[in-house]
């Protein structure tokens, strides 16, 4: 009986040892499985990133090697200029005279043109026949989709500038279908972009509260302006090409010198609401701002004073645009309509009522003031004066964020949250 008991105990002890060994082996196997899963997840992420990079590189073969150079620090980006020009230099007599001289020249040029429409301008009939010529999804990151801003180079109509949710701005050549430059430096999404009309220079801004002036051939930041204490919401280049106007949710507008990096003046809006948009009048002596409480305000730049207010919208102002002749101002807000204002009579003379729930994110007159385009729920083009709808483009699969006319309205470009730049014209 004792022998049987001892044998049973020995067997039980052996079983426990085997169980303990099995548990250790199982624990080790589970650890290896977990590690393998993490390695697979990392590899999948790297594959996705590689595919995205490849998709971006395909149209990017024309970029020169210099653009792959690492970005400089903020100190060197500012070119020796203080990165935060908080002290206002003031509007000197020299600056004011420069603004006045430019306005005089522009007014005289406009009078010479008269009301004649350029012969090269696309006719209404041709514009009605515009088709989608191209769609480019590879300009910005697929992992943070959305293009938020758009501009066209006035001196080289083949070059298009976009700002993305991926914190980058991209210069794209529509003729060669190649990316010319990727401008990296903002720490948040790029919401406004401007091509300098006479130089290979780009200006961008972002909710990171900074304005960057870029040298396109090297993809480097030439100047870093920090004029605001909050997200920069509006950006407009003065006709001289030397100064930039900016607005912010910090309830101020600022006027800065992009040559020296100096903040010339910063003015607080009297209202208790942030500013949402900014646009210079074609002559450059007055400008418009939009506010979060649906007001459109006209300012005298030399006097730095508010000279007129337009009420009528409901919701934050989303876009404003002056016509080329300087007589009209188009405005949009979160109220599914576009209002046209006569700047001579200071009144609203036309309201384009859109469908309920229609969102307007951008407005643009062509350079002759013949056409007005709207970007938002779709892309629409109107004939000015009659304010007749000529064309609707429904190609974007998400909200359209930007629209611009090429020279003489020979083509139209639009951007969207669907990550594409689309081009429209005649085949």
Domain for residue 19, yes or no? no
| pLDDT confidence band for 306 (50 / 70 / 90) | very high
Domain for residue 86, yes or no? no
Tens of pLDDT, residues 224-260: 999 999 999 999 999 999 999 999 999 999 999 999 9
Tens of pLDDT, residues 104-156: 999 888 877 767 788 899 999 999 999 999 999 989 998 888 999 999 999 99
Residue 165 φ/ψ, nearest 5 degrees: -65, -20
Q: How far apart are alpha carbons 382 and 359 in whole angstroms?
A: 16
Amino acid 54: pLDDT: 57
Tens of pLDDT, residues 38-71: 778 777 777 766 665 555 444 444 433 333 443 3
Q: Which contacts (CB < 8 Å, 24+ apart) does range 198-203 have? A: 198/155, 198/241, 199/241, 202/161, 202/169, 202/171, 203/235, 203/237, 203/244, 203/258
Tens of pLDDT, residues 29-44: 887 887 788 778 777 7
The average confidence (pLDDT) of the chain is 88
Domain for residue 245, yes or no? yes
| pLDDT confidence band for 312 (50 / 70 / 90) | very high
Residue 221 φ/ψ, nearest 5 degrees: -75, 120
Domain for residue 181, yes or no? yes
Q: What is the per-residue burial (b if ≥16 Cβ within 10 Å, else e) of 88-121?
A: beebeeebeebbeebbeebeeeeeeeeeeeeeeb
Alpha helices in 58-169 (DSSP H): 74-77, 93-113, 124-128
Tens of pLDDT, residues 83-106: 444 578 788 899 999 999 999 999
Domain for residue 361, yes or no? yes
Please state the domain count of the chain: 1
- Find the CATH number of the domain harbouring 184: 2.130.10.10
Question: Can you say whether the dihedral through the CA atoms of 298, 300, 306, 308 is positive or negative?
Answer: negative
pLDDT at 6 over 80: no
Tens of pLDDT, residues 169-225: 999 999 999 999 999 999 999 999 999 999 999 999 999 999 999 999 999 999 999
User: How many CB atoms neighbour CB 192 within 10 A?
Assistant: 25
Domain for residue 339, yes or no? yes
Domain for residue 341, yes or no? yes
Can you give the residue range of the structural domain that contains 277?
Answer: 93-111+142-425
């Amino acid at each position: 009986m004792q022998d049987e008991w001892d044998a049973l105990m020995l067997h039980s002890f052996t079983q426990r040892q085997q169980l303990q060994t099995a548990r250790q082996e199982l624990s080790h196997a589970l650890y290896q499985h977990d590690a393998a899963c993490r390695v697979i997840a990392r590899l999948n992420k790297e594959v996705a990133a590689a595919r995205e990079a490849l998709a971006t590189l395909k149209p990017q073969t024309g970029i020169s090697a210099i653009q792959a150079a690492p970005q400089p620090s903020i100190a060197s980006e500012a070119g020796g200029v203080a990165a935060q020009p908080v002290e206002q230099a003031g509007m000197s007599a020299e600056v004011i005279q420069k603004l006045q001289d430019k306005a005089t020249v522009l007014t005289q040029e406009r009078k010479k043109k008269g009301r004649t429409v350029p012969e090269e301008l696309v006719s209404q009939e041709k514009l009605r026949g515009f088709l989608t010529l191209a769609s480019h999804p590879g300009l910005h990151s697929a992992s943070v989709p959305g293009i938020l801003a758009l501009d066209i180079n006035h001196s080289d109509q083949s070059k298009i500038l976009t700002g993305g949710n991926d914190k980058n701005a991209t210069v794209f050549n529509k003729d060669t279908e190649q990316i010319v430059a990727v401008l990296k430096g903002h720490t948040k999404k790029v919401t406004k972009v401007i091509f300098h009309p006479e130089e290979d220079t780009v200006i961008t801004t972002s909710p990171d509260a900074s304005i960057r002036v870029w040298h396109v051939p090297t993809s480097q930041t030439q100047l870093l302006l920090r004029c605001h204490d909050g997200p920069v919401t509006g950006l407009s280049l003065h006709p001289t090409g030397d100064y930039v106007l900016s607005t912010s949710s910090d309830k101020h507008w600022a006027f800065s010198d992009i040559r020296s990096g100096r903040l010339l003046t910063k003015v607080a809006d009297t209202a208790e609401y942030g500013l949402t948009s900014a646009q210079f009048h074609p002559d450059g002596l007055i400008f418009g701002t939009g506010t979060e409480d649906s007001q459109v305000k006209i300012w005298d730049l030399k006097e730095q004073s508010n000279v007129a207010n337009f009420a009528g919208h409901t919701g934050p102002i989303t876009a404003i645009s002056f016509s080329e002749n300087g007589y009209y101002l188009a405005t949009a807000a979160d109220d599914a309509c576009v209002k046209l204002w006569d700047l001579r009579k200071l009144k609203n003379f036309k309201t384009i009522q859109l469908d309920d729930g229609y969102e307007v994110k951008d407005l643009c007159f062509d350079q002759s003031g013949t056409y007005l385009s709207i970007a938002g729920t779709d892309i629409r083009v109107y004939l000015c004066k009659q304010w007749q709808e000529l064309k609707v483009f429904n190609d974007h699969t998400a909200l359209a964020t930007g629209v611009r006319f090429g020279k003489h309205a020979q083509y139209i470009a639009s951007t969207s949250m669907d990550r594409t730049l689309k081009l429209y014209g005649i085949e």
